[in-house]
Structure 1
Amino acid sequence: MNRESGLMLNDETAHIRQSIADILQTAVGTRIQRREYGSILPMLLDRPISHALALQIAAASIVALQRWEPRIDITAFAVQFAEESKYRLTADISATTKNGNQSLNFNQLGLMQ
Protein backbone atom coordinates (compact mmCIF):
# COMPACT_ATOMS: atom_id res chain seq x y z
CA MET A 1 0.00 0.00 0.00
CA ASN A 2 1.26 3.46 -0.87
CA ARG A 3 1.84 5.28 2.39
CA GLU A 4 0.89 8.65 0.89
CA SER A 5 -2.18 7.82 -1.18
CA GLY A 6 -3.45 4.61 0.42
CA LEU A 7 -3.65 2.94 -2.99
CA MET A 8 -2.25 -0.52 -3.65
CA LEU A 9 1.29 -0.79 -4.97
CA ASN A 10 1.19 -3.34 -7.79
CA ASP A 11 4.89 -3.04 -8.55
CA GLU A 12 7.36 -4.78 -6.22
CA THR A 13 10.07 -2.28 -7.13
CA ALA A 14 7.87 0.60 -5.92
CA HIS A 15 7.20 -1.29 -2.69
CA ILE A 16 10.91 -1.91 -2.15
CA ARG A 17 11.65 1.79 -2.78
CA GLN A 18 9.02 2.79 -0.21
CA SER A 19 10.37 0.22 2.25
CA ILE A 20 13.93 1.52 1.87
CA ALA A 21 12.80 5.08 2.60
CA ASP A 22 10.80 3.92 5.62
CA ILE A 23 13.70 1.95 7.07
CA LEU A 24 16.22 4.75 6.60
CA GLN A 25 13.94 7.55 7.85
CA THR A 26 12.79 5.67 10.97
CA ALA A 27 15.05 6.19 13.97
CA VAL A 28 15.95 3.07 15.95
CA GLY A 29 13.89 2.96 19.14
CA THR A 30 10.87 4.87 17.84
CA ARG A 31 8.73 2.02 16.49
CA ILE A 32 6.46 0.65 19.22
CA GLN A 33 6.81 -3.14 19.75
CA ARG A 34 9.68 -3.16 17.25
CA ARG A 35 12.29 -0.99 18.94
CA GLU A 36 15.18 -2.34 16.84
CA TYR A 37 13.50 -1.40 13.53
CA GLY A 38 14.95 1.44 11.50
CA SER A 39 18.38 2.99 11.23
CA ILE A 40 20.66 5.35 13.09
CA LEU A 41 20.61 7.65 10.06
CA PRO A 42 18.30 10.24 11.72
CA MET A 43 20.89 10.62 14.50
CA LEU A 44 23.61 11.45 11.98
CA LEU A 45 21.76 14.14 10.05
CA ASP A 46 22.55 17.16 12.23
CA ARG A 47 26.29 16.74 11.97
CA PRO A 48 28.53 18.97 9.83
CA ILE A 49 28.73 17.83 6.22
CA SER A 50 32.00 16.03 5.47
CA HIS A 51 33.39 13.00 3.69
CA ALA A 52 33.50 11.18 7.03
CA LEU A 53 29.78 11.86 7.51
CA ALA A 54 29.05 10.49 4.03
CA LEU A 55 30.86 7.26 4.95
CA GLN A 56 28.98 7.02 8.26
CA ILE A 57 25.66 7.56 6.47
CA ALA A 58 26.47 4.92 3.86
CA ALA A 59 27.56 2.39 6.50
CA ALA A 60 24.53 3.01 8.73
CA SER A 61 22.20 2.76 5.75
CA ILE A 62 23.66 -0.45 4.38
CA VAL A 63 23.60 -2.15 7.80
CA ALA A 64 19.95 -1.19 8.32
CA LEU A 65 18.90 -2.29 4.83
CA GLN A 66 20.71 -5.61 5.14
CA ARG A 67 18.82 -6.28 8.36
CA TRP A 68 15.33 -4.99 7.52
CA GLU A 69 14.89 -5.38 3.74
CA PRO A 70 15.33 -9.11 3.06
CA ARG A 71 14.32 -8.90 -0.61
CA ILE A 72 17.49 -7.16 -1.82
CA ASP A 73 21.28 -7.27 -1.73
CA ILE A 74 22.94 -3.83 -1.89
CA THR A 75 25.64 -3.66 -4.58
CA ALA A 76 26.41 0.10 -4.44
CA PHE A 77 25.47 3.03 -2.21
CA ALA A 78 26.51 6.63 -2.87
CA VAL A 79 25.58 9.69 -0.82
CA GLN A 80 25.11 13.13 -2.40
CA PHE A 81 24.77 16.47 -0.66
CA ALA A 82 22.76 19.02 -2.67
CA GLU A 83 21.59 22.47 -1.70
CA GLU A 84 19.48 23.11 -4.79
CA SER A 85 16.92 20.32 -4.47
CA LYS A 86 13.96 19.36 -2.30
CA TYR A 87 16.21 16.99 -0.37
CA ARG A 88 19.57 18.20 0.93
CA LEU A 89 20.78 14.62 1.27
CA THR A 90 20.10 11.94 -1.31
CA ALA A 91 21.40 8.47 -2.06
CA ASP A 92 21.90 6.45 -5.20
CA ILE A 93 21.38 2.79 -4.39
CA SER A 94 22.05 -0.18 -6.65
CA ALA A 95 20.78 -3.58 -5.59
CA THR A 96 19.74 -6.98 -6.85
CA THR A 97 16.68 -8.89 -5.78
CA LYS A 98 17.38 -12.12 -3.95
CA ASN A 99 14.57 -14.06 -5.58
CA GLY A 100 15.33 -13.34 -9.21
CA ASN A 101 18.58 -11.40 -9.43
CA GLN A 102 16.75 -8.46 -10.98
CA SER A 103 18.93 -5.36 -11.00
CA LEU A 104 17.40 -2.33 -9.24
CA ASN A 105 18.55 1.28 -9.23
CA PHE A 106 17.10 3.89 -6.90
CA ASN A 107 18.54 7.26 -7.87
CA GLN A 108 18.27 10.39 -5.74
CA LEU A 109 16.33 8.67 -2.98
CA GLY A 110 15.58 11.47 -0.52
CA LEU A 111 17.08 10.94 2.92
CA MET A 112 16.85 14.41 4.47
CA GLN A 113 14.80 17.50 3.62
Structure 2
Amino acid sequence: MATVNLTTGEKLEGIDDVWQSIAIILGTTLGSLVMARDFGSKMPRLVDRAVSQVTVIEFYAAVPEAINRINPEALMAEEPRFRIIQMALSDMTDEGNATFDIDGIYYPRGHLGDYSEARDAQGRVVVSNNVIVGSYI
Protein backbone atom coordinates (compact mmCIF):
# COMPACT_ATOMS: atom_id res chain seq x y z
CA MET A 1 0.00 0.00 0.00
CA ALA A 2 1.43 3.35 -0.99
CA THR A 3 0.15 6.88 -0.64
CA VAL A 4 1.45 10.37 -1.26
CA ASN A 5 3.44 12.34 1.30
CA LEU A 6 1.23 15.31 2.17
CA THR A 7 4.16 17.74 2.42
CA THR A 8 6.48 16.66 -0.41
CA GLY A 9 4.15 14.89 -2.85
CA GLU A 10 6.52 11.92 -3.06
CA LYS A 11 5.48 8.28 -2.82
CA LEU A 12 5.13 7.10 0.78
CA GLU A 13 5.20 3.44 1.83
CA GLY A 14 5.55 1.23 4.88
CA ILE A 15 5.86 2.57 8.39
CA ASP A 16 6.19 6.17 7.17
CA ASP A 17 2.77 5.85 5.55
CA VAL A 18 1.39 4.46 8.82
CA TRP A 19 2.64 7.47 10.79
CA GLN A 20 1.17 9.88 8.26
CA SER A 21 -2.12 8.00 8.59
CA ILE A 22 -1.91 8.19 12.39
CA ALA A 23 -1.29 11.95 12.21
CA ILE A 24 -4.36 12.36 9.96
CA ILE A 25 -6.52 10.27 12.30
CA LEU A 26 -5.35 12.16 15.40
CA GLY A 27 -5.63 15.56 13.70
CA THR A 28 -9.20 15.02 12.48
CA THR A 29 -11.94 15.96 14.92
CA LEU A 30 -14.15 13.02 15.76
CA GLY A 31 -17.53 13.43 14.05
CA SER A 32 -16.34 16.06 11.56
CA LEU A 33 -16.46 13.89 8.40
CA VAL A 34 -19.99 13.63 7.04
CA MET A 35 -19.81 10.10 5.66
CA ALA A 36 -17.46 8.81 8.38
CA ARG A 37 -18.61 10.24 11.70
CA ASP A 38 -16.56 7.70 13.68
CA PHE A 39 -13.27 8.64 11.96
CA GLY A 40 -10.86 10.86 13.87
CA SER A 41 -10.01 11.55 17.49
CA LYS A 42 -10.81 13.72 20.47
CA MET A 43 -7.32 15.27 20.38
CA PRO A 44 -8.19 18.39 18.33
CA ARG A 45 -10.65 19.35 21.07
CA LEU A 46 -7.99 18.86 23.73
CA VAL A 47 -5.15 20.92 22.24
CA ASP A 48 -6.52 24.27 23.40
CA ARG A 49 -7.08 23.20 26.98
CA ALA A 50 -4.95 24.36 29.87
CA VAL A 51 -2.21 21.93 30.83
CA SER A 52 -3.32 19.81 33.78
CA GLN A 53 -3.18 16.23 34.95
CA VAL A 54 -6.70 15.69 33.65
CA THR A 55 -5.73 16.94 30.17
CA VAL A 56 -2.72 14.61 30.09
CA ILE A 57 -4.91 11.65 31.04
CA GLU A 58 -7.39 12.58 28.31
CA PHE A 59 -4.52 12.67 25.78
CA TYR A 60 -3.39 9.25 26.99
CA ALA A 61 -6.90 7.92 26.36
CA ALA A 62 -7.51 9.71 23.04
CA VAL A 63 -4.51 8.33 21.14
CA PRO A 64 -5.11 4.56 21.43
CA GLU A 65 -8.87 5.06 21.25
CA ALA A 66 -8.51 6.71 17.85
CA ILE A 67 -5.79 4.52 16.37
CA ASN A 68 -7.12 1.17 17.55
CA ARG A 69 -10.85 1.92 17.20
CA ILE A 70 -12.84 -0.80 15.53
CA ASN A 71 -15.36 0.49 13.01
CA PRO A 72 -18.37 -1.86 13.23
CA GLU A 73 -19.53 -0.98 9.69
CA ALA A 74 -16.18 -1.74 8.04
CA LEU A 75 -15.14 -4.47 10.50
CA MET A 76 -11.63 -3.08 10.62
CA ALA A 77 -9.56 -0.79 12.78
CA GLU A 78 -8.87 2.85 11.95
CA GLU A 79 -5.19 2.00 11.39
CA PRO A 80 -5.05 -1.79 11.03
CA ARG A 81 -1.31 -1.77 10.38
CA PHE A 82 -0.40 -0.57 13.89
CA ARG A 83 -1.29 -1.55 17.45
CA ILE A 84 -0.17 0.48 20.45
CA ILE A 85 1.55 -1.50 23.19
CA GLN A 86 2.80 1.32 25.39
CA MET A 87 2.67 5.10 25.42
CA ALA A 88 4.59 7.57 27.59
CA LEU A 89 4.58 11.34 27.95
CA SER A 90 8.17 12.35 27.28
CA ASP A 91 7.78 16.16 27.31
CA MET A 92 5.13 18.71 28.29
CA THR A 93 5.53 22.47 28.34
CA ASP A 94 3.49 25.18 30.04
CA GLU A 95 2.46 26.39 26.58
CA GLY A 96 0.64 23.12 26.01
CA ASN A 97 3.15 21.43 23.71
CA ALA A 98 3.35 17.71 24.39
CA THR A 99 5.38 14.80 23.10
CA PHE A 100 4.21 11.21 23.51
CA ASP A 101 6.50 8.31 22.69
CA ILE A 102 4.66 5.24 21.43
CA ASP A 103 5.81 1.63 21.27
CA GLY A 104 3.74 -0.72 19.20
CA ILE A 105 3.55 -3.47 16.66
CA TYR A 106 3.64 -2.74 12.94
CA TYR A 107 1.80 -5.18 10.68
CA PRO A 108 2.92 -4.51 7.07
CA ARG A 109 -0.11 -6.34 5.63
CA GLY A 110 -2.59 -5.50 8.40
CA HIS A 111 -4.77 -3.52 5.98
CA LEU A 112 -5.34 -6.82 4.15
CA GLY A 113 -6.31 -8.61 7.35
CA ASP A 114 -2.98 -10.49 7.40
CA TYR A 115 -1.35 -10.23 10.84
CA SER A 116 1.16 -13.03 10.30
CA GLU A 117 4.14 -10.66 9.97
CA ALA A 118 4.77 -8.31 12.88
CA ARG A 119 7.59 -5.88 13.63
CA ASP A 120 8.34 -3.73 16.63
CA ALA A 121 7.86 -0.05 15.91
CA GLN A 122 8.44 3.14 17.83
CA GLY A 123 6.95 6.48 17.04
CA ARG A 124 6.21 9.88 18.44
CA VAL A 125 3.12 12.02 18.53
CA VAL A 126 3.86 15.71 18.96
CA VAL A 127 1.22 18.30 19.78
CA SER A 128 2.65 21.75 19.13
CA ASN A 129 0.93 25.04 18.32
CA ASN A 130 -2.40 23.23 17.96
CA VAL A 131 -0.97 20.91 15.29
CA ILE A 132 -0.72 17.14 15.75
CA VAL A 133 2.16 15.35 14.03
CA GLY A 134 2.98 11.63 14.03
CA SER A 135 6.41 10.35 13.10
CA TYR A 136 8.43 7.15 13.08
CA ILE A 137 11.58 7.06 15.20
After TM superposition, the score normalised by the length of structure 2 is 0.71
Look up the SS of the partner of 1:9 in the other structure. strand
Name the structure with the higher strand share.
2
- TM-superposed CA distance for 1:14, in Å, is 0.3
**Structure 1 CA distance for aligned equivalents of residues 128 and 33 of structure 2:** 19
Runs of 4 or more above 6 Å deviation: none
1:89 and 2:135 matched: no
Check conservation: 1:77, 1:93, Cα contact below 8 A: yes
Look up the SS of the partner of 1:106 in the other structure. strand
Deviations 1:87-110 (A, max 9, x none): 812221111024322000013x32
Look up the SS of the partner of 1:18 in the other structure. helix
Residue 104 of structure 1 aligns to which amino acid in structure 2?
A
Unaligned stretches of 5+ residues in structure 2: 70-77, 108-114, 130-137
What percentage of aligned pairs have identical amino acids?
29
RMSD: 1.9
Residue 111 of structure 1 aligns to which amino acid in structure 2?
V
Unaligned stretches of 5+ residues in structure 1: none
Residue 37 of structure 2 aligns to which amino acid in structure 1?
R
The one of 73, 78, 82 equivalent to 1:72 is 82
**Structure 1 CA distance for aligned equivalents of residues 121 and 60 of structure 2:** 18
Name the structure with the higher helix share.
1
